[in-house]
Structure 1
Amino acid sequence: MSIDTKAIAAMDRNSVLHPFTQLKDFASGKLGEPTIIETGKGIRIQDAYGKELIDGFAGLYCVNIGYGRDEVAEAISRQAYRLAYYHSYAAHTTDELAMLSDRLVKMAPGQMSKVFYGMSGSDANETQAKLVWYYNNLRGKANKKRIISRDRGYHGCTVMAGSMTGMKFYHDHMDLPLPQIAHTGVPHHYWGSYDGETEREFSARRAKELDQLIEELGPDTVGGFIAEPVLGTGGITPPPEGYWEAIQTVLKKHDVLLIADEVITGFGRTGSMFGCQHYDIEPDLITVAKGLTSGYFPLSAAIVGKKVYDVIENAADRIGAFSHGFTYSGHPIGAAAANAVLDIVEREDLAGNSRTVGAYFQAQLKEKFAQLPIVGEVRGVGLMAAVEFVTDRASKSGFDAQMKVGARISKAARDLGLIARAMPHGDILGFAPPLVTTREEVDEIIDIAERAVRVVMDQVIQEGQKI
């Protein structure tokens, strides 16, 4: 189907409020025309102008099964023809919803009991916050309401989820964070460690800082701790050795619920089905979205552990109905899409592919980039990785932010046919390709990324920057 690209671009510029876009530059045309994405297949997308791009970021970490999977489209179509919508209030359900929920409870790590549905990772984390408050109210601990997150953690951008997100630019001019939220240190050994401090020593220090923060706030006021198994938007940073073991000891000491935000890591990205399994994390609550439907339909889930659910159920005779829900909670089309996606994830062992092809990906990244003079760190796990750029490897000196080195490398890669994301909080190039990516496609991604880095490195040298 051909479209009038000029007309579509004009309509978009005149009517769409784009997220994370410099609005004045876009409105004036300084940013150029909007990119109109038209088709996708496998790990590639094509825009309306005929340009093909390798999507090295799976949309926004979500298109795990790749683009154009007919079986998911067919599952969505079948459900839409059969029953496009019904709510899940007052014990209504559909077969797809019941089967999906049973599946998630059985496959999730820890002792899970029930699943509550929303439409995005943000709203699922709003639900998790309410569950922490509800749980503690019902067990007579009405002051135990604070939730601790981490600097550079990402948990969404709604009011509560945005408050839990540990990035200042999500808070500026938005009256966030809310006072119920506190933040503790980022678990990034490269930037946060003292000279000579091992990863285990660094992890022990971060755990001690968390313990001290809980003591300062008052253990009777802290109800939850939310964290991604691997930092995502905060820099694609795997935890240092011993981190999760040390952190969980502190949480158990102070009777603090652990919310594992698996929106990015869930369903295979680390090489395990869940990041919690990869790092021996025992969560009380789990948040999933993105990979749940591979982005084919908006759906999220708050998976509720038995410890929390039992308190809620046992209070029902005293307090009445569970008064939380959305019009689209447990949407039947979303449930059908999720079941079709998880069929593919399991049948094709995409967690296993992430583990094996991911190991090759990590090794190739280190081989091609680790010794370049502008590369400070290459890091990652499974099919998620980051390359961080510095002016001096020995002193870990960063580039002047005005140089926008990370953004320039991302643009150079895109010009060469690869989407790799410039991450916030530094000059960082991030990768999170679909979990169907092959070794041959890894070679393509690495080749384009290396060429992009070398183009910008040469530019930086010509501009007189010492490296």
Structure 2
Amino acid sequence: MNQIIPNSASGRDIKFHAHPQTNFRLHEQVGPAIVDSGDGVRISDTDGQQLIDGMAGLWCASLGYSERRLVEVAHAQMLKLPYIQTFAHRTSEPVIDLAEALIARAPSPMSKALFQASGSEAVDTAIKLSWFYHAAIGKPEKRKIIGRQRAYHGTTIASASLTGLPNMHNGWGLPLPGFLHVSCPDTYRGMLADETEEAYSARLGEELEALILREGPETISAFFAEPVMGTGGVVVPPRGYFDHVQRILRKYEILFVADEVICGFGRTGAYWGSQLYGLEPDMLTCAKGLSSAYFPISALMMTDRVYQAVADFTAQLGGFGHGYTYGGHPVGAAVANETLKIYDEIDICGQVRAKAPILQDGLRALAGSSIVGDVRGIGLMAAVEFVEDKAEKRPFAPAAGIGAKVADAVKARGVLLRALGPTLVFSPPLVAAPGDIEAIVAAVKGGIEEVEGQLGR
């Protein structure tokens, strides 16, 4: 029987609402926090608590919660043309404009943009397109997909298989056959004591090449990577890592897909994470910041080499058997176009670079805590990893729920963050004022000290 849990302020009955990424039984006991409104970088719930959203929703509300230009553009487009599909030679002016804007802003030469409604769908499309491309060039046996441990790429069957997080596989019978994973390039957990970052990168490159040779290069379709891992714990790659990766992929004619769903549109301080590491992907996926989360939309960009092969194949087959009802939604495209204009006008990357030291240096100043093992990040994305023993890097037992305890203590101080196991992650709106970021750091400092006290440290 469904349990009924009223929210204390609203009295709302929540028994019909299931929640993703949630323990259903625990949720039946604790109920939801119902967010009622947002203003700037703050959200308010129906209990009257106001919080700085230190995660920008899910890494996505880059312009905060009260950018009226996006609301007005969405309203105007809904009045003019609320929907049209992009199947079979149809489109709309906003979609044409958005494709042109994205291709112009791409970190390396791209030819076409294909639209979806979510990052998961964009990644799923890239997986399918890698198979379609290789079939088009007469190599249909190139089907295997390589991802990385701790990578996050989405929750569709294919994108979750590509994801390298056990909680995305357990109980689902995933990953599907043909999805392979190499090590996460985490210098804190993976680099040897006497190893330089460059040597660590070379070793990771050797591991990738060994996997390719073991599986057979003629069977490998594509390699996917976030420039900086997000949900896996904000893992910044070691120096030279992507130089080795790209050299190996080119050697064995394997497509490289950059997943910029989190990193894109200024999060790292560069417009694209790819620009930081000299990436030249064959395909690139983006979402989240594309519309500052004001409307569901994602895009997949592809090089002309990929497009030309695919186009020839569609002519041979009589069509392109792929697409989504809401791919290329005119309202989403209109909102995304205005979002990109705002980014340009306010120099979003310059803003992030100017404010990043407040977050990064502020969090690194907490490294002396007895429970902080590692602080890492770039731009306005960061992570603090908690450990029981700093010398041995020994993590707390999962049952201790240390990350959640710190997150709760931080929330009590007016800041909403996300705990991913023993790691607290940060992704504030890119328009957060310096004072907002200082408040985030201060709340975290207080939260860590409170939990240390509970542990008797």
Which interval holds the TM-score relative to the shorter structure?
over 0.9
Match for 2:372 among 354, 375, 385? 375
Residue type at the aligned position of 2:332: G
Which residue is 2:77 aligned to? Answer: 79
- Structure 2 CA distance for aligned equivalents of residues 186 and 214 of structure 1: 16
Is 1:388 the counterpart of 2:393? The answer is no
Please state how far the C-alpha of 1:355 moved relative to its aligned partner. Answer: 1.3
Between the two proteins, what is the percent identity of the paired residues?
Answer: 40
Residue type at the aligned position of 1:400: A
Match for 2:46 among 45, 48, 55? 48
Mapped contact 2:264–2:271 kept (Cα < 8 A): yes
- Structure 2 counterparts to residues 18-167 of structure 1, below 5 A: 18-27=19-28, 30-31=29-30, 33-167=31-165
The residue matched to 2:360 in structure 1 has which SS?
helix
**CA-to-aligned-CA distance 1:283-318 (integer Å, 9 cap, x gap):** 110111100111101111111121211111233432
Is 1:449 the counterpart of 2:444? The answer is yes
Please state how far the C-alpha of 1:340 moved relative to its aligned partner. Answer: 1.3
Q: CA RMSD in A?
A: 1.3
- Structure 2 CA distance for aligned equivalents of residues 312 and 22 of structure 1: 42
Matched residue count: 452
**CA-to-aligned-CA distance 1:33-67 (integer Å, 9 cap, x gap):** 31111111111111112110000000000000111
Mapped contact 1:110–1:284 kept (Cα < 8 A): no
Mapped contact 1:86–1:331 kept (Cα < 8 A): yes
Out of 56-65 and 385-394, give the one that drifted further.
385-394
Which residue is 1:464 aligned to? Answer: none
Mapped contact 2:417–2:424 kept (Cα < 8 A): yes
- Structure 2 counterparts to residues 145-224 of structure 1, below 5 A: 145-224=143-222
Residue type at the aligned position of 1:356: A
Mapped contact 2:9–2:47 kept (Cα < 8 A): no
TM-score (norm 2): 0.97
Mapped contact 2:9–2:46 kept (Cα < 8 A): no
- Structure 2 counterparts to residues 310-459 of structure 1, below 5 A: 310-367=308-365, 369-424=366-421, 427-459=422-454
- Structure 2 CA distance for aligned equivalents of residues 328 and 316 of structure 1: 21
Out of 44-53 and 56-65, give the one that drifted further.
44-53
The residue matched to 2:15 in structure 1 has which SS?
helix
- Structure 2 CA distance for aligned equivalents of residues 18 and 67 of structure 1: 22
- Structure 2 CA distance for aligned equivalents of residues 226 and 274 of structure 1: 16
The residue matched to 2:391 in structure 1 has which SS?
coil
Residue type at the aligned position of 1:442: I
Mapped contact 2:287–2:299 kept (Cα < 8 A): yes
**CA-to-aligned-CA distance 1:244-270 (integer Å, 9 cap, x gap):** 111111111111101100000000000
The residue matched to 2:395 in structure 1 has which SS?
coil
Mapped contact 1:9–1:34 kept (Cα < 8 A): no
**CA-to-aligned-CA distance 1:2-48 (integer Å, 9 cap, x gap):** xx95696543x211110111111222xx22x3111111111111111
- Structure 1 CA distance for aligned equivalents of residues 126 and 66 of structure 2: 32
Residue type at the aligned position of 1:347: E
Mapped contact 2:8–2:47 kept (Cα < 8 A): no
- Structure 1 CA distance for aligned equivalents of residues 43 and 334 of structure 2: 24
- Structure 1: any 5+ residue segments left out of the alignment? 462-466
Please state how far the C-alpha of 1:319 moved relative to its aligned partner. Answer: 2.1
Please state how far the C-alpha of 1:116 moved relative to its aligned partner. Answer: 0.9
